[in-house]
Structure 1
Amino acid sequence: MGLDPLGVELRHLVALAAVGRHASFSRAAEELGYTQSAVSQQIARLERLVGQPLVERPGGPRPVRLTAAGEVLLRHAEAIRARLTSAAADLDALAGGTSGTLRVGCYQSVGVRILPRVLREFRARWPAVRVELTENEDDGWLLQQVERGELDVTFVVLPLPDGPFAVMDLLADPYVVAVRPDSPLGLDGGPVSLRDLATQPLISYARMRDVHAIENRLGDPALRDQIVFRSHHNGTILGLAAEGVGAAVISWLSVDPHRPGLRVVPIAGVSPRIVAIAWHRDRYQLPAAAAFTDLAHTVALTERSLMRDTLGS
């Protein structure tokens, strides 16, 4: 007998999730505000609809646990919960019209170089919309918030992980080396090569998606052994480079172009990271979110011009 999807109710799935979390019918009942017998009845009903056991009941004081079938169904239940959360967010957005809150995800370099100009223009055009900012250096975490309906848009770096995302490219953000003015790197005025970096102590970003780690983006895993310091704070990275602790290998957007005591040199033969903005492709997109995305694209064009003037590319 297969699953009868028309007979499954949300309360059955909620009960299954609670039992899975607590490994106990009684504690699940306490969380949900039900009696223990009510939770047992809901699980039993769900098992009849599925046609196989979902919970192992060893009896006595030993904890219960989900069967393999229960784990499979729970994963689908969590996906259903996420979609319902997104639906609630969509309904709130639709009711809010041109007012309410726009929830934006961001990481540091974009937050310093692009976001302020976007917000200046956005506030002038959408004064009734409050922007709520969520910051995290791991854009994978930010994308999870988009998928759960907890963010409307987020800045990201391509490639994206699998998921229900739509994306707009903003700009190519080349990798550079920031060093003291007296460093031998790039003194001839040209870009440095990976070979030039081979003997240098390096400074770079701390933990992020593996695909974005500097040693992976530069295509040379051996660089990992040369990294003497990692930080999520661009100011810390640049400060260490200015003191000669090492050469900072970062992206252009992570550099403060007005900071004294540093020289910025392009890296030859390395593809730039692509900065983009993403949203949930299956959700209703707020008009304010679409306007924010368009403004981000316009500001990115200005940043490209500054980059060309500074790096000569």
Structure 2
Amino acid sequence: MSHIELRHLATLAAVVDEGSFGRAAARLRYTQSTVSQQIAALEKAVGGAVFERPGGPRPVRLTPLGAVVLPHGRDLLAKAAALAETVERFQAGDGRIDIGTFHSVSNVILPTVVRRLRDEHPGCDIRLFEDEPDQPRIGDLDLLFYDATFDAASFDREVEHRKLLDDPYLLVAERGTFPEGPVPLERLDGEPMVAWPEACDQPRIEKALAHHDVRPQVVFRTAGNEALMSMVRAGLGSALLPWLVLDGTTAWTDDRLTVHPLLPALPPREIRVYWRAGRTHAPLAARAIEIACEVAETTAERLQQRD
């Protein structure tokens, strides 16, 4: 059996529903001869007659073979209709998108991305996965936000990327620890500091400090930004944190804290969005990248105004 087409099955179902070739032709907007040709092609494909044709005004009836073919045909037609609807929704931007993220992006960039995607495509399914391993893994994610620059060999798959913004490091200290204004890097040598674990972008920053012969005394490490800020307030030590972490917090208005630029400035953290190389973007993923770039541009403008 071969060469069964969906149009043949649709014609079969229409003849059964309408009771005659003529009424099926009117429903399908075919000529009656076209309906006959479609049924003949189906019968050739399945190897036997699917209708008994009594002639005259009496309705056509399914043969035993036709009774076998019809339910499977209806099932295939339903699946084809569902597929067409799914593809149409996909092309329109609805569907599912899986996004890998990390804390800063989850707080500042992604809320706007998610809100605008849901406003534009109310039926979309957005799933977020927050993790920041030492080596980035994109897996089956549609998009991955990451706060460090890696070459393609670092990933579990070949990737492409787009840079969103440079995120400069600032010094957060207990008020009175340093004079107002920029703090020379050498003042941090031997100073007690709280810091992130030695993963992701942290080793690069500590290497940059060492390049200037600056080796702070790290007294506490945690991945929790709120915990780092709390320890700074408690006087345990200062912290080097990216601007994006501080954006939206009370760091600049907290009477127990001061925020300082560094002289010279440390290399900024680079925020990028990655996706699998050669993968055709779903409209939803492509739109998410567009919105993320717009949000990043607005965020960078806020950073300049803060400076």
Note whether the superposition's TM-score is higher than 0.5.
Answer: yes
| Deviation of the 1:168 alpha carbon | 0.8
Task: Find 2:297's aligned residue among 290, 294, 301.
Answer: 301
**Cα RMSD (Å):** 2.5
Asked if 1:173 corresponds to 2:144, the answer is no
Looking at structure 2, the residues matched to 252 and 123 of structure 1 have their Cα atoms a distance apart, in angstroms, of 28
In the alignment, structure 1 segments of 5+ residues that lack a partner are 1-91
Asked if 1:124 corresponds to 2:116, the answer is no
Contact 1:171 1:304 (8 Å CA) reproduced: yes
Find the residue that maps to 2:127 and give its secondary structure: strand
Contact 1:203 1:228 (8 Å CA) reproduced: yes
Task: Find 1:263's aligned residue among 258, 274, 284.
Answer: 258
What amino acid maps onto 2:145 in structure 1?
F
User: How has the CA–CA distance of structure 1 residues 305 and 289 changed in structure 2, closer, same or farther, with 3 Å as cutoff?
Assistant: same
Q: Which residue of 2 aligns with 1:159?
A: 149
User: How has the CA–CA distance of structure 1 residues 160 and 93 changed in structure 2, closer, same or farther, with 3 Å as cutoff?
Assistant: farther
| Deviation of the 1:216 alpha carbon | 2.3
Q: Which residue of 2 aligns with 1:135?
A: 130
Q: Which has the larger radius of gyration?
A: 2
| Deviation of the 1:300 alpha carbon | 0.8
Contact 1:103 1:133 (8 Å CA) reproduced: yes
Looking at structure 1, the residues matched to 215 and 282 of structure 2 have their Cα atoms a distance apart, in angstroms, of 42
What amino acid maps onto 2:272 in structure 1?
A
Please show how residues 1-313 of structure 1 align to structure 2 within 5 Å: 96-97=90-91, 98-138=93-133, 140-141=135-136, 144=137, 146=138, 148-149=139-140, 151-163=141-153, 164-184=158-178, 187-189=179-181, 191-209=182-200, 212-220=203-211, 226-255=217-246, 256-259=248-251, 260=254, 261-269=256-264, 270-310=266-306, 312=307
More displaced stretch, 268-277 vs 210-219? 210-219
| Deviation of the 1:176 alpha carbon | 0.8
User: How has the CA–CA distance of structure 1 residues 243 and 291 changed in structure 2, closer, same or farther, with 3 Å as cutoff?
Assistant: same
Contact 2:193 2:220 (8 Å CA) reproduced: yes
Find the residue that maps to 1:229 and give its secondary structure: strand
Looking at structure 1, the residues matched to 217 and 88 of structure 2 have their Cα atoms a distance apart, in angstroms, of 52
Find the residue that maps to 2:99 and give its secondary structure: strand
What amino acid maps onto 1:161 in structure 2?
D
Contact 2:183 2:263 (8 Å CA) reproduced: yes
Contact 1:154 1:277 (8 Å CA) reproduced: yes
Looking at structure 1, the residues matched to 172 and 162 of structure 2 have their Cα atoms a distance apart, in angstroms, of 29
Deviation readout 1:3-58 (Å, 9 max, x if unpaired): xxxxxxxxxxxxxxxxxxxxxxxxxxxxxxxxxxxxxxxxxxxxxxxxxxxxxxxx
Contact 2:209 2:215 (8 Å CA) reproduced: no
In the alignment, structure 2 segments of 5+ residues that lack a partner are 1-85
What amino acid maps onto 2:176 in structure 1?
D
User: How has the CA–CA distance of structure 1 residues 102 and 305 changed in structure 2, closer, same or farther, with 3 Å as cutoff?
Assistant: same
Find the residue that maps to 2:135 and give its secondary structure: helix
| Deviation of the 1:194 alpha carbon | 1.8
Looking at structure 2, the residues matched to 94 and 222 of structure 1 have their Cα atoms a distance apart, in angstroms, of 60
| Deviation of the 1:263 alpha carbon | 1.6
Contact 1:140 1:161 (8 Å CA) reproduced: no
Deviation readout 1:228-262 (Å, 9 max, x if unpaired): 11111110111111111101112111225424232
Looking at structure 1, the residues matched to 232 and 97 of structure 2 have their Cα atoms a distance apart, in angstroms, of 37
Contact 1:202 1:227 (8 Å CA) reproduced: yes
Looking at structure 2, the residues matched to 220 and 202 of structure 1 have their Cα atoms a distance apart, in angstroms, of 18
User: How has the CA–CA distance of structure 1 residues 152 and 221 changed in structure 2, closer, same or farther, with 3 Å as cutoff?
Assistant: farther
User: How has the CA–CA distance of structure 1 residues 210 and 239 changed in structure 2, closer, same or farther, with 3 Å as cutoff?
Assistant: closer
Contact 1:139 1:156 (8 Å CA) reproduced: no
Contact 1:107 1:138 (8 Å CA) reproduced: no
Q: Which residue of 1 aligns with 2:35?
A: none
What amino acid maps onto 2:226 in structure 1?
G
Contact 1:210 1:216 (8 Å CA) reproduced: no
User: How has the CA–CA distance of structure 1 residues 224 and 155 changed in structure 2, closer, same or farther, with 3 Å as cutoff?
Assistant: farther
What amino acid maps onto 1:128 in structure 2?
G
In the alignment of these two chains, the number of paired residues is 212
Contact 1:175 1:272 (8 Å CA) reproduced: yes
